[in-house]
Amino acid sequence: MSPTLLLGAVLALVGAQVSHLAAPRRLRYPVVLGLALLGVIGGEVVAQWLHAGGPALGSLHPVADVAGMVLLELGGAALHGPGRPRLTA
């Protein structure tokens, strides 16, 4: 496995976990994880296309990847609407 893929996967996992901890009732975790993975991939595509994206960590551009994750997760949360109601016992 390429170190870049491993770093990208770790970055997506950390980003998804932070997002899910910040707003646990907004989106389900698998959706957040999928959006984080797409954000990392999208951030890398944009960084390669613009020849920018902040400092590179190997061939990974963490600044562009985090920006991609934030944009996709905020967009997904905005499309989802209000959080799920709490269950009371």
pLDDT per residue as tens digits for the range 13-35: 998 899 888 877 778 888 889 98
Mean pLDDT value of segment 2-20: 86
From the number of C-beta atoms within 10 Å of its C-beta (0-12, 13-18, 19+), residue 9 rates as middle
**pLDDT at residue 85, rounded to an integer:** 56
pLDDT at 87 over 60: no
Q: How far is CA 3 from CA 9, 10, 57, 60, 74, in A?
A: 10, 10, 10, 9, 28
- pLDDT tens-digit profile of 18-77? 988 887 777 888 888 998 999 998 888 888 888 776 676 667 888 888 898 888 888 888
pTM over 0.85? The answer is no
Residue ranges per structural domain of the chain: 3-80
